[in-house]
Structure 1
Amino acid sequence: MNSAEISNVRDSLRVRLLLPVLALVLVVVIVLTIVLAVTQANRVRTNANESIERQTSALQSLFAVTRSIMLDRVHSSMRLLQRDGGKLGPVSVGPQITVGGRPANDLLFGGQPQGNNFALVDSVTAIDEGTATIFARTGDEYVRIATNVKKDDGSRAIGTVLDPHGKAIQSITKGEPFYGVVDILGTPYVTGYDPILAGDGGGKRAVGIWYVGFKTNLEALEKVVADRRVLDSGFIAIFDANGKLRFQSKTGATTDPAQIEAISGKAPDDWTVTKQDVPDWGFTLVSAYPKSDINGTILKQSLWIIAIGVLVGALLLGMQSTLIWNRVLRPIQHLTTVADELSKGKWNNTIEEVDLKDEIGTLARAISRLSNSVRLAMERLSKR
């Protein structure tokens, strides 16, 4: 058997030995890759949801703390307004007047008309800042007859009426005060409304409303929201009770207000959109991200897992190939060479494999005995 034939046998045996190993490694790598990819996909989704939960929870807490702090100021200002108003004297309904171009009933405090009289409301806000108003009941409406709430043009909002569909009017109609966040002329205020009662004994009736409020200073919140995002292209947005976009993420790939409003409103199928009410504010907190962000992250991490799996598989296959070569193929190759030379009458080869304790060692010892037998037989023949 020449060297080419020996090499072919060796290579053929190597292939036969490595094929099962290769198949096993491939199966293990594929199974592990699938398991890890599925696990990683679930982890990515979980992390995304946890990130949204953490961010929205922090924003909800910030809203709650802001409201609590501002309500303390509202209660303080309300006590001051009612105290100063009470010092003027008892409340009664005055004649009809014109405020802001519309008719309204006047209110008299100790006989002093309050319509178009801003001394009381301005004295309160001069101490605690904020805004103050005296509403007079005119028919079924409550008209601002004295206020320092400003309209967009900077003028006092006298003659305007309390929102007939708002949260405050519902409590006032029941004779109950209202404290909370309301929209005043398009701007959210933390407010307090308390009925103004006239008469005495059991005949007291609501003839107007005390109001104090503070325009919500949400610059800190706006900054926090602007710096937040979800994954690469997602966003966080806050809408007021009228559906107006107040704050939004300004990082990431989705920052266009029109696009944010469209996604928040329509919740397209290729986006995951979550909405939460902000208690006591009437706001809606929206968090959204495109499903492609999740799929892209999963694909990237799956490719990494596959690459690592292939690398580990190649290393295992290389180690197995080296082991097979050193422990099996090289001894067999040497024994094959010895047997081939023995068939040609050469019996003086050293067979080191006789020390092995496996089947190859058994084969080596058999070839060694055969070599000794051939050598002895040749020596006897040469002596005749």
Structure 2
Amino acid sequence: MFKDSLRARLLLPVLALVLASVVATVIALAWVEANRVRVEAQNAIENQSRGLLSIFSVTHSIMLDRVRSSMHLLRQETDDQGTPGVGQPITVDGRQVNDLLFGGKPQGNQFQIVDSVTAIMGGTATLFTAAGNDFVRVTTNVKKDNGDRAVGTMLDPNGQVIGEIRKGLSFYGVVDILGSPYVTGYEPIYDGNHDKPIGIWYVGYKTDLDALSKVVSNSRVLDSGFIAMLDSKGKLRFHSNEGAAADPAFINKIIQEQPSDWTVQKRDVPNWGFTLVAAYPNSDIDSAIIRQTIWISLIGVVICLLLLGLQYVLIESRVLRPIKRLTEVADALSMGKMNNVIEEVKLKDEIGTLAKAIARLANSVRLAMDRLSKR
């Protein structure tokens, strides 16, 4: 039977050794590959995040330069009118506040200055008047959703801007105005008679993030992950638009709940107050690892078969065939046939030694037979 044959005795230990080596190699390579997949996933997130942050940084820098130029023009326009002051109570869109004066000229519901600034510089401009601890727009070309001017609306009493203004400081940065992000500049107005600001100069540009939106919508992490951007109020602004993670409700759920079977990474966007979110299901990593492990295993099996095939050929040609030939010679010798040519005597291994011994035996038998025949 095969298991009792010399071929089996030679091949089975080799098979066991090759299988053990291949299994150990597959396990080691699978572990290395698993780490590589995780590192590549993290690098993909880092590269995409770095690119998006770079776009935000450049956009902020360019728009902030425009804001400063526009603020300079707005202040110049009001300075040409004269010194600031507090006027009589007026009503702006149903809200009663003190008018804001420049050179004694009322600014409430007067739009010449703000419109002339934006006609040159673009963007939006506003003059606020103080109303207790709050500030109300008395003239502006910022528009509401219905297209009306946003006069009578208040500066966000809980926002980051009003805290700086109350301290007498200017503010330049990104703020949410009526639900849209603007790159803005705010500077307090003083009249010399009050310790607190009597109003605020404002200029700003609504951010045109269409290019960024396209970049984000085309991005993805692994097979099912996503990139998303939240504004300062946690509202989902942009998100990947590919695969299963294209549903805003699903994305919001993942960001809010951060389930254990997902990896969710958040990063603040400098100067914007936005949050960049990258997330992917852990199953994507597992699937990638399994795919790579299967490929490695298949390669290992192929290598194993090739090694076994090579070993079989070597054993067959270098061991079994010479032994079979010597067996035939010995069998013929036992039947008195002593003229066989034993080519294996040329071998310099153990089989060659055996072949020489059989050749000597054949020669001795032939000499003995010759002596017997001469008697």
TM range (shorter): over 0.9
Q: Does 1:335 align with 2:290?
A: no
Q: Does 1:325 align with 2:320?
A: no
163, 181, 196: which one pairs with 2:189?
A: 196
Q: Secondary structure at the match of 1:268?
A: coil
Instruction: For residue 20 of structure 1, report the CA deviation from its aligned partner.
Output: 1.3
Q: Does 1:151 align with 2:144?
A: yes
Residue identity in the other structure for 2:275: T
CA distance in structure 2 between the partners assigned to 1:370 and 1:124 by the alignment: 119
- Report the counterpart of residue 5 of structure 1 in structure 2: none
CA distance in structure 1 between the partners assigned to 2:281 and 2:236 by the alignment: 20
Q: Does 1:84 align with 2:67?
A: no
Q: Does 1:302 align with 2:290?
A: no
Residue identity in the other structure for 1:351: I
Q: Secondary structure at the match of 2:151?
A: coil
Q: Secondary structure at the match of 1:269?
A: coil
Instruction: For residue 362 of structure 1, report the CA deviation from its aligned partner.
Output: 1.1
130, 152, 157: which one pairs with 1:164?
A: 157
Residue identity in the other structure for 1:94: G
Q: Does 1:243 align with 2:234?
A: yes
- Report the counterpart of residue 4 of structure 1 in structure 2: none
Q: Secondary structure at the match of 2:219?
A: coil
Contact kept, 8 Å, 2:226 with 2:240, in 1: the verdict is yes
Contact kept, 8 Å, 2:225 with 2:245, in 1: the verdict is yes
- Summarize the alignment of residues 50-199 of structure 1 with structure 2, pairs less than 5 Å apart: 50-199=43-192
1:240-266 CA-partner distances (Å, limit 9, x unpaired): 111111001112331011001101111
Q: Does 1:269 align with 2:254?
A: no
Contact kept, 8 Å, 1:172 with 1:194, in 2: the verdict is yes
Instruction: For residue 195 of structure 1, report the CA deviation from its aligned partner.
Output: 0.4
CA distance in structure 1 between the partners assigned to 2:262 and 2:349 by the alignment: 64
Residue identity in the other structure for 1:192: G
CA distance in structure 2 between the partners assigned to 1:298 and 1:24 by the alignment: 26
- Report the counterpart of residue 20 of structure 2 in structure 1: 27
Pair 9,269 (structure 1): closer, same or farther in 2 beyond 3 Å? closer
1:310-329 CA-partner distances (Å, limit 9, x unpaired): 10111111111111111111
CA distance in structure 1 between the partners assigned to 2:348 and 2:85 by the alignment: 117
Instruction: For residue 205 of structure 1, report the CA deviation from its aligned partner.
Output: 4.0
- Report the counterpart of residue 314 of structure 1 in structure 2: 305
CA distance in structure 1 between the partners assigned to 2:290 and 2:296 by the alignment: 10
CA distance in structure 2 between the partners assigned to 1:9 and 1:187 by the alignment: 81
Contact kept, 8 Å, 2:2 with 2:8, in 1: the verdict is no
RMSD: 1.3
CA distance in structure 2 between the partners assigned to 1:306 and 1:153 by the alignment: 64
Instruction: For residue 379 of structure 1, report the CA deviation from its aligned partner.
Output: 2.1
Q: TM-score, normalised by structure 2?
A: 0.98
1:12-71 CA-partner distances (Å, limit 9, x unpaired): 101101111111101110111001000011000000000100100111111111111000
- Report the counterpart of residue 210 of structure 2 in structure 1: 219
1:69-120 CA-partner distances (Å, limit 9, x unpaired): 0000100000000001000011110010000111011011111110000111
CA distance in structure 2 between the partners assigned to 1:210 and 1:149 by the alignment: 13
CA distance in structure 2 between the partners assigned to 1:93 and 1:360 by the alignment: 116
How many residues align structurally? 375
- Summarize the alignment of residues 277-292 of structure 1 with structure 2, pairs less than 5 Å apart: 277-292=268-283
Instruction: For residue 204 of structure 1, report the CA deviation from its aligned partner.
Output: 5.7
Q: Secondary structure at the match of 2:229?
A: strand
Q: TM-score, normalised by structure 1?
A: 0.95
- Unpaired runs of 5+ residues, structure 1, are 1-7
